[in-house]
Amino acid sequence: MIFENLLTIIENGILTITINRPDKLNALNKKTVEEIGLAIRNAENNRDIKGIIITGAGEKSFVAGADISELFGLSIEEGKNYAKAGQLVFESIERSSKPVIAAINGFALGAGCELAMACHLRVAGENAKFGQPEVSLGLISAYGGTQRLIQYIGKTKATELHLTGDLISAEEALKLGLVNYVVPKEKIISKCVELLEKIKSKSPTAISSVINSLNSHFEKDVDGFNTEIEEFGKCLGTEDFKEGTSAFIEKRKAVFVGK
């Protein structure tokens, strides 16, 4: 599928989505957010795709925020709809049954930090910078930033970053638990591929179940322990479970079919 603001490629079962507005440091305009949503939906329905990498085009930036030029002139109601639409797309990433890794090749600011946080794992280049600088613009996060940053780094530091708008380095992000790995810039994609290759060798049904179960911890009015019980039960009914346990007993490598 051809997108206006995304480049997509599927290689060895891994879909790489590159946000392609480098002259605007890959700032997310409405069209780009919609396209990300569409790419994730397509991937969900494509059995050949086992994992997803989201990255930004160019040398400098993953995503430098929402496209500020589009925010001018929005009414209060339009602003709320704008936030809701983006949140739904980011939620679809978080709920994707396939593992999604953010390959953070530079600035991850505002909506960029939020996009990285909606992914399941984050690999940052040494040059990456993170922050929620919206208060400098008279704004706050719109795509889940006030909620997810607390989940990852706790209230103390999340509050400081949201109140000051300060940017932090990749090393600081690693120390705070915001990212999984920091690697030299040229190794970001290969580290993501290495992680996805490992995950791809596991049962896709189990991966989907564990994503659901982990997400349920943060869902209001949902008992995550119950979700775990349900998902565990679901796993027992899969061909993958039969294959995984048979392979263990027969001392061979499991070949999962994702059913």
Work out whether 240 is an interface residue with ligand COA (CB under 6 A): no
Work out whether 133 is an interface residue with ligand COA (CB under 6 A): yes
- Does residue 94 carry a catalytic annotation? no
**Residue 128 CB, nearest approach to ligand COA (Å):** 12
Task: Kindly name the residue from 34, 77, 114, 160 that is annotated as catalytic.
Answer: 114
C-alpha dihedral sign at 121, 125, 126, 131: negative
Give the E-state strand segments of the chain in sequence order.
6-11, 14-19, 51-56, 61-63, 100-104, 107-109, 121-125, 129-131, 167-169, 181-183
Which token pair is 233?
Answer: 């039960």
Work out whether 82 is an interface residue with ligand COA (CB under 6 A): no
Count of residues near ligand COA by CB under 6 A = 16
Binding mask 46-65 for ligand COA (x = CB under 6 A): ------------------xx
Cβ atoms < 10 Å from Cβ of 237:
11
Residue of minimal CB distance from ligand COA?
Answer: 65
Nearer to ligand COA, 141 or 238 (CB): 141
Q: Which stretch binds ligand COA (CB under 6 A): 1-9, 19-27, 205-213, 224-232?
A: 19-27
Q: Which of 6, 15, 17, 25 binds ligand COA (CB under 6 A)?
A: 25
Nearer to ligand COA, 114 or 231 (CB): 114
Cβ atoms < 10 Å from Cβ of 246:
11
**Residue 29 CB, nearest approach to ligand COA (Å):** 8
The letter for the amino acid at 156 is: T
140: Cβ–Cβ under 8 A, 6 or more apart, which residues?
134, 146, 162
Task: Kindly name the residue from 78, 134, 171, 194 that is annotated as catalytic.
Answer: 134
Nearer to ligand COA, 27 or 192 (CB): 27
- Does residue 114 carry a catalytic annotation? yes
Q: Which residues 98-127 are close enough to bind ligand COA by CB under 6 A?
A: 107, 109-110
205: Cβ–Cβ under 8 A, 6 or more apart, which residues?
234, 235, 238, 240, 241, 256, 258, 259
Give the relative orientation of helices 111-118 and 76-94 as an angle to the nearest 10 degrees: 30
CB 203 within 8 A of CB 241: yes
221: exposed, middle or buried (Cβ count in 10 Å: 0-12, 13-18, 19+) = exposed
State how far the Cα of 12 lies from the Cα of 23, in Å rounded to an integer. Answer: 30
Nearer to ligand COA, 67 or 240 (CB): 67
Binding site for ligand COA (CB under 6 A): 24-25, 27, 64-69, 107, 109-110, 133-134, 137, 139
Catalytic residues: 114, 134
